[in-house]
Amino acid sequence: MNAQLELDKLISQCKERGITPRLLLHACCAPCASYPLEYLAPYFDITLLYYNPNITERVEYEKRLAELQRLAHEFGFNVIDGGYDDKLFFERSKGLEKEPERGKRCTECFTTRLQKTAEIASSDYDYYATTLTLSPLKNATLINQIGLALQKEGKAKYLATDFKKKGGYLRSIELSKKYELYRQNYCGCVFSKRKD
């Protein structure tokens, strides 16, 4: 699947029909949300979901949330805070602590976050997606496979993306500078912070 091609096709259809679908966009942080918001805002009615139990230090969690809320305010969007819950991450990653980055622990982490996003989206949204596909360090194909597997019939559909396409990652760096966003150097979990 070419996620960018499919997304462009959906955007074109929405423009032709004059509709603005409701999108719940999972956001891992403000820098990763910047380009997707800029790109999708003309075509979707977006609500951001900040649900990241992988961020295991409360201070870091709150700092990233505050930055996302500040950026959302600039763009005119609302943020749902899924709540700080590092215990869930440690439960879901038990036995995977020594996995390398981009291994099974990361897959479990993506699944946890997308499950919650799909669950919330099922009540009142047409689509759900995640900003995780912006990072060149994240496997967009895997993330999209997880998101698609979680969608339920008759509920919100998963919007497959690859936000690093069309220069998205580079644009996020420019937007981060423009809005003076805090850019962290690790995903948030203690295991990614360690030196391998």
What residues does each domain of the chain span?
3-193
Q: What is the pLDDT of residue 194?
A: 54
The pTM assigned to this predicted structure is 0.93
Mean pLDDT, the chain, integer: 92
Q: What is the pLDDT of residue 42?
A: 96
Q: What is the pLDDT of residue 101?
A: 81
Say if CB 79 and CB 73 are below 8 A apart. no
**Does residue 196 carry a pLDDT above 60?**
no
Distance CA 161, CA 163 (A): 6
- What is the token pair recorded at 144? 């999209």
- What is the token pair recorded at 91? 């439960």
**Does residue 103 carry a pLDDT above 90?**
no
Q: How sure is the predictor about 154, in pLDDT bands with cuts at 50, 70 and 90? A: confident
**Does residue 52 carry a pLDDT above 50?**
yes
| Three-class secondary structure of residue 106 per DSSP | helix
User: Element (H or E) spanning 48, and its range?
Assistant: strand 45-50
Q: What is the pLDDT of residue 100?
A: 76
Distance CA 17, CA 123 (A): 23
Give the pLDDT confidence of 162-187 residue by residue, as tens digits: 999 999 999 999 999 999 999 877 67
CA angle 173, 175, 179 (to 5 degrees): 120
Per 3-state DSSP, the chain is made up of helix, strand and coil in percentages (nearest 5) of 55, 10, 35
Q: How sure is the predictor about 30, in pLDDT bands with cuts at 50, 70 and 90? A: very high
Distance CA 108, CA 106 (A): 5
- Mean of the pLDDT values across residues 21-37? 97
- Mean of the pLDDT values across residues 1-29? 94
Distance CA 180, CA 160 (A): 28
Q: How sure is the predictor about 33, in pLDDT bands with cuts at 50, 70 and 90? A: very high
Q: What is the pLDDT of residue 99?
A: 79
Among positive and negative, which fits the CA dihedral 181, 38, 48, 100? negative
Place of tokens 């603005």: 20
CATH 3.40.50.11540, applies to 3-193: no
